Structures are given as C-alpha cells and as structure tokens.
Amino acid sequence: MGIITKDVLIHKVGDLKVLPFVARKLLETLNDEGCSIDDLSNIIEKDQAVAAKVLKISNSALYGLRHEVTSLHQAILILGFKTIRSLVLSVSTRALYKNFGMKEKILWDHSVGAGIAAKLISVGFGAEIGEVSFVGGLMHDLGKVVMNNESPEEFAEVMMKVYNEGFDSITAEMEVYGYNHTEIGAGVVEKWGFAPLLVKILQMHHLRSLNLADIKEPAVATAIAITNLADHVCKVLGIGYRNPDDKIELHKLPSAVFLNMPQERLNILVKNIEETYNLEKTIFD
C-alpha cells in the first residue's frame, strides 16, 4: 500500500461522524438564529466531560472573570454563544486522537500552548478575533493529528526528520507525503462546516511566501498573524518541542511586525504565556 492521497484523507476524516456528538450538534446550531441559551446548554450537558471542561476553562485565567461561573447557563450568559461554542469545539478536538502515546502528547501539548498563546496575544484586537485565534491556535496543527491517526508509520518518519534531523514540519511532510498538514487541516474543517476564517488560519498559519499586508480582509490577516506568532512563542518556550529555541527573534517575525508587537511587549507576553500555560494546561486534558 502506498501513501494515502490528500483527497482520500480529507474525504475520510471530513465526515462529520468523526466528530464527537456534542461538537456535531453544535455545528448544526451555528446558523440557527432561533437557538436559545437553554438549547445550547442542553446540547453541551449531553457530554458531562465536555461540560466540565468548558466550565473549568471559563473560570481559568484565560477569561479572568471576577466571579466563579457555576453553570453552563451562566457561562453562556456571561461569555456569549460564540465563545462557548468555540470552547466546546476546541475541547472536542482532544477526542480526535485515536491513540495517546508520546507522539500524541507532543502534538496535544503544542496545540494547547498555541491556543493559550493566541488567546493572550489577541487581547486588544476584539472579542471575535480573540475567539477565532484561540480556536485557531488549538486546532492549527489538526492536519498533523489526522495524518498521524491515519498513517502513523509515515508520520513517525516525519517526526524523526523534525526532531532528529532539524527539518521544518512542512518540508518533512512534503518529502514523506507529497502534501502537508496545512492542506489537510484546512480541507477537513472546511468539510466540517467551520467558519471560513478558521479554514484560512489552518491553511495559512505558516506564512510560506505569504505577505500579510496583501490579505484584503483585516480580520483574516490579524487572526493568521496571531496564530503564527503563537506557534513561534511555543517554539521559543519549547512547548511541544524537545528543547526551547532561543535563536528565534520574535519581534522580527513578519507576524509580530504586522501586529505591531515590539520586543519589550513580547518579552512580557512570553512570560505571561509561559506562566498561564503552566498554570492552566491541565484543564484541557
């Protein structure tokens, strides 16, 4: 048997049945203007593990609420429909891992780190950018999860090239598969019916030959830049990597320049991201 083709992989995993029940039901409500707080709460409560995680994250330092949220109804009322849906879809991605060994732990830790980093970097850019960046951070490497699930031996080869030979992930994937995780991730979430902005984040977050200033939609450019910067912050901190990479000059990255993030501000942000990640990472497990 040869390598599974890109189209076959996207078609196979793009089936909504792959997603947990609660995530599928929530996607159905995305365009339902008649959906009430009770409707949303009732859907989420059908999976008590997801419901518990949503409450934990709502009460975490990521949202900084003044009073403890004790019910889903209250969480939806305070944080809003879109935020709660984003949280549920994000924590549901954990269920997509078919196995959970060292390889998967590395991928998951990096995803959580990037989600937290994106959330904190997005402060000041508006609530909508904040939420899509948070989900984008958590899901930016979904394509890697899919490739690992469906062809673990080939993906192990990719991981060896990245961690032992110093390849970047895109180059390693192209050598082994002939396509890369950004194509797979974007294709899968598009088939699931996720927002076009999220599709673009997964597709473009590596900024390969992409000039952010050329993107005509400011929200799209900003969210992609935030996700790219969050990804690099995780590399600097060693989240999902063997060792921290102190050679990366974050303030010189195109994403940091686009977001107008000077070195002093980034130094404070990185410290805050590291502290928040160490404090809150277990709530996603």
pLDDT score, position 185? 96
3-16 pLDDT, tens digit each: 899 999 999 998 87
Helix axes 102-121, 152-165, angle to 10 degrees: 70
**pLDDT tens digits along 31-72:** 677 888 888 899 889 888 889 988 998 899 888 888 899 999
Q: Could you give phi then psi for residue 146, rounded to 5 degrees?
A: -60, -45
- Of 14-18, 229-233, 275-279, the range with the lowest mean pLDDT is 14-18
pLDDT, the chain, mean: 91
Residue 1 has pLDDT above 60, yes or no: no
pLDDT number for residue 27: 81
Rounded to an integer, the average pLDDT of 10-30 is 84
Of the pLDDT bands very low, low, confident and very high (cuts 50, 70, 90), residue 253 is very high
Residue 230: CB atoms within 10 A of its CB come to 29
For the 6-15+97-284 domain, the top CATH level (class) is mainly alpha
Lowest mean pLDDT segment, chosen from 14-18, 103-107, 151-155: 14-18
Residue type, 29: T
Per-residue confidence (pLDDT) for residue 84, from 0 to 100:
87
Q: How far apart are CA 241 and CA 34, in angstroms?
A: 44
Q: Which pLDDT score, from 0 to 100, does residue 81 have?
A: 84
DSSP 15: S
Predicted confidence (pLDDT) per residue in 179-224, tens digit: 999 999 999 999 988 889 999 999 999 998 889 999 999 999 999 9
Place of tokens 């990245």: 162
The domains of the chain are located at 6-15+97-284
Structure tokens at 217: 């939609």
